[in-house]
A = this chain, B = another copy of it.
Amino acid sequence: MHYFSDNATPICPSVMTALAAADHPDRAYDGDQWSARLDAAFSALFDAPVSALWVATGTAANCIALATLCPPYGGILCHEEAHVEVDEGGAPGFFTHGAKLMTLPGTGARLTPGTVEARLATIRDDVHQVPARALTITNATEYGLVYTPDEVAALGALAAAHGLGFHMDGARFANAVAHLGCHPADLGWRAGVDALSFGCVKNGGMVGEALLFFGPRAAARAAEARRWRKRSGHLFSKGRYLAAQILALLEDDLWIANGRAANAAAQALARAIPDRLMHPVQANELFVRLSAEQAATLRAQGFDFYDWGEGAARLVTNWAQNAEDLAPLAQALAQLDPR
């Protein structure tokens, strides 16, 4: 019973079926029929022209996006607990050739126009200081919070006003959209987002994430991103198996259904422990006050999860969990001594 992460989940059955269906000879790299359908599929989903690429991982999607949005001598505004800052092993520095992550505070790993503007105001416009050239946010955030379309749009407007490329790490984009019930475009191009890492693996895929570009420069940026993709060793020779997975998740809105399922699972757990929650539960992550003793008790019952600093733990749910799967943990949590 793993609650480490949604990336420990098995593969969604439809994805497995799609892999089998794609198992015929075709052109290599992204010359195949499945890869060729990605732009159209995402354009339909987002109700606007989208340029889409598959890459190996979320780290690659994020960092290729940032490399297209920020020059090596530029800076990228992000939250101080953002995945790109904390958990990508220096990949942003690698892909951008040394661009600077400029970290900002904010509760729940959320940025606001105010914190972004305050930081921009401190940067002198001379060559001694790194100029901000991009802004990246994670939605849902690293604490499972969801930016609303208006909140994203406010940051998008700010980015546009300051000439910053705007990227969204959407490793849990499905969970964000599922929570909001909005149109995906409301968190994308309509809010000024230039590039979106559209998460698939946590949503039921096996390998491969989608990197999307929006807006008038989408095609040019995607062309450049294709150079970066090859250059960083992410151009799979049998790319059709990545494209097929992504298309399977888009088919009949499976991705959003999976996002809803994972969110519902988180709510089921949240109901068991309303007083332990450190953040509102909006997507599929719970941050829970838990003593070392309580954590040990749960682990002894077979539940796995990450500690999150002292006296706290992170529980992540996924699309594959139903009420029956969750009951044991919900029950175990409810039975903990309330302190």
Measured between alpha carbons, how far is A64 from B235 in the docked complex, in Å? 15
A89 in contact with B207 given A10-B24, A28-B5, A98-B96 (CB within 8 Å): no
A238-B94 contact given A20-B16, A63-B233, CB 8 Å threshold: no
- Report which of B5, B73, B88, B101 forms a contact with A89, defined as CB distance below 8 A: B73
A4 within 8 A of B: yes
A35-43, A44-52, A222-230, A257-265: which one contacts chain B?
Answer: A222-230
Query: A303 to chain B: which residues have CB within 8 Å?
Result: none
C-alpha spacing A8/B201, complex, angstroms:
24
Chain A binding site: helix, strand, loop or mixed by DSSP?
Answer: loop
Question: CA A101 – CA B92 in complex, angstroms?
Answer: 13
Quick check: which of A126-134, A135-143, A281-289 contacts chain B, the rest being far away? A126-134
Q: Would you give the shortest CB distance from A265 to chain B, in whole angstroms?
A: 14
Query: Is the CB of A300 closer than 8 A to any CB of chain B?
Result: no
Closest chain-B Cβ to A163's Cβ sits at a distance in Å of: 14
Contact between B28 and A10 (Cβ–Cβ < 8 Å)? no
Which residue from B25, B59, B92, B236 sits with its C-beta under 8 Å from A235? B59
Residue pair A8, B25 in contact (C-beta under 8 Å): yes
Q: Beyond the given A2-B27, A91-B231, A94-B231, could you list 4 further A-B residue pairs with CB under 8 A, ordered by the A residue number?
A: A7-B28, A16-B20, A95-B232, A100-B101
Residues of A whose CB lies within 8 Å of any CB of B are 2, 4-5, 7-11, 16, 19-20, 23-28, 55-61, 63-64, 71-75, 86-101, 127-131, 201-202, 206-208, 224, 226-238, 241-242
| Interface pairs (15), CB distance under 8 Å | A2-B27, A7-B237, A10-B24, A19-B206, A56-B233, A57-B236, A59-B230, A71-B224, A72-B231, A86-B129, A89-B227, A94-B232, A95-B233, A127-B230, A202-B237
